Amino acid sequence: MITQTFDVQTVRGRFPSLERCLDGRPAIYLDGPAGTQVPSCVVERIAHCMLHHNANRSGRFATSREVDQIMADSHRAVADLLGAPDPTSIAFGPNMTSLTLQFSRAIARTWKAGDRILVSSLDHDANFTPWVLAARDAGVEVKTIGICPSDATLDMDSLDDLLNERTRLVAVTAASNAVGSLTPVAEIAKRVHAFGAELFVDAVHLAPHRAIDVEQWDCDFLVCSAYKFFGPHIGILYGRPERMQSLVPYKLRPAPDSLPVRWMTGTQNHACIAGAAAAIDYLASLSSLPELETNRRVRIVDAMARVERYETQLISSLLQGLLAIPKARVFGITEPHRVSDRAPTVSFRMDGKKSIDVAQFLGDNGVFAWHGNYYALPLTQALGTEPDGMVRLGCMHYNTQEEIARTVELLQSL
Ligand SMILES: Cc1ncc(COP(=O)(O)O)c(C=O)c1O
């Protein structure tokens, strides 16, 4: 059934790193939530840019014009990934954290004492602390939306309780990088907008698993990071064009004040931005729709639906395997009928074992997995798993059922 819908072996052939063996056995990459592996086509695009189009922008000569074109193409590619009609609504930066720190400073200039912002316990610290710091500097109140502890999902009643007329911004993730829980972004946007507030979405963890749609979700701002979706280390910020124009960024005087570059401080990493566009083309290539007759956005949406179907099978097997281990305690959604409400990312603990030791055991046996809190500190604090943290297994569409089975077998033997 898998091969009918998704040819994982062909996909794997595009990732040279997946050929790696340790002690004669193929390595198993379940560390994707901390950064995915990269297909050759992405690396080739980066190399090509550096070898043939290496110049700074806006010059009156060939290589500079080519870089301008590469950048314009990359803005368009990201707009297709996010479902944004206007490529000038997309800014690039070093990573999501830096973009969020920078953007939170700029928007906080518009807040005043008495205002309120909301962050969430489900989030990575990169969508939590920048807002807390900006609010502190602006003298604004911060409240934290809670989680439902039984399944580590966002508590929508808590959101309703905290929203009021003074709320200016809500920062929330689209998917937890620790336990995989998805959030109903479109529904959150509706509730947030009913109070005249704005919604800032962290889509870093969601991006390799589902289609993002900023128009349909009606979110005001969204961030993601290309190294989490098979690209290089580049951060991405989307904002409604009218807001990206009206807000005042921290920028240097000679730098243009036009969109989108007013939000892109300093000389950009042109080669890796070209690589981010290549990663988006890679995702589109997973679609079964004909390239010549279908536009890239449509192919991305189709590709992500295929990725979701395939990953759902992986996560179902992984959850089933983990739940059958008496010593394993799995966090987040575990019921088989609810797997579509989660990304294929699982965190668990083993009774009587430290998370670092479990990760070490897996690593020694060729399974790459993270331990600790993966910077999802708001969540691990809410779940009470600090300081030991958890062990995280993150499936990507390049993983296989055999890899899941071997990982579960290893954990059973612990
Ligand atoms: C959900 C989530 N948000 C934000 C970040 C931070 O992204 P970056 O490394 O691009 O700053 C991460 C990184 O792990 C993440 O998983």
pLDDT tens by residue, 224-241: 999 999 999 999 999 999
Residue nearest to atom 8 of ligand 1 (CA): 96
Question: Which contacts qualify for 3-6: CB closer than 8 Å, 24 or more apart?
Answer: 5/306, 5/309, 5/310, 6/286, 6/306, 6/307, 6/309, 6/310, 6/397
Of 121, 124, 269, 347, best ligand 1 pocket probe by most atoms within 8 Å of the beta carbon: 124
* Nearest-atom index, ligand 1, CA of 375: 14
Whether 190 has a pLDDT exceeding 80, the answer reads yes
Q: Is 411 exposed, middle or buried (0-12, 13-18, 19+ CB in 10 A)?
A: buried
CA distances from 87 to 23, 66, 91, 187 (A): 47, 18, 9, 25
Residue nearest to atom 4 of ligand 1 (CA): 126
Model pLDDT, residue 292: 84
Model pLDDT, residue 393: 98
> How many Å is the maximal CA-CA distance in the chain?
67
Q: Which of 340, 308, 334 is nearest to 322 (CA)?
A: 334
Q: Give the mean pLDDT of 208-218.
A: 98
Of 97, 102, 181, 229, best ligand 1 pocket probe by most atoms within 8 Å of the beta carbon: 97
CA dist., res. 340 & res. 344, Å (int)? 9
Model pLDDT, residue 411: 98
Assessment of whether the complete model's pTM goes beyond 0.95: yes
Model pLDDT, residue 3: 42
**97: three-class secondary structure by DSSP:** helix
* Nearest-atom index, ligand 1, CA of 33: 16
Q: Is 36 in the pocket of ligand 1 (CB under 6 A)?
A: no
Q: Is 125 in the pocket of ligand 1 (CB under 6 A)?
A: no
Instruction: List, for residues 9-30, the tens digit of each pLDDT value.
Output: 999 999 999 999 999 999 999 9
Q: Predicted confidence band at 353 (pLDDT cuts at 50, 70, 90)?
A: very high
CA dist., res. 168 & res. 48, Å (int)? 44
Whether 4 has a pLDDT exceeding 50, the answer reads no
Q: Give the mean pLDDT of 390-404.
A: 98
Model pLDDT, residue 2: 41
Model pLDDT, residue 1: 41
Model pLDDT, residue 6: 84
Instruction: List, for residues 130-144, the tens digit of each pLDDT value.
Output: 999 999 999 999 999
Q: Give the mean pLDDT of 61-80.
A: 98
Whether 209 has a pLDDT exceeding 70, the answer reads yes
- Annotate 294-334 with three-state secondary structure: CCHHHHHHHHHHHHHHHHHHHHHHHHHHHHCCCCEEEECCC
The pLDDT mean for the chain works out to 97
Instruction: List, for residues 131-185, the tens digit of each pLDDT value.
Output: 999 999 999 999 999 999 999 999 999 999 999 999 999 999 999 999 999 999 9
Instruction: List, for residues 295-316, the tens digit of each pLDDT value.
Output: 999 999 999 999 999 999 999 9
Rounded distance from Cα 207 to ligand 1 centre (Å): 11
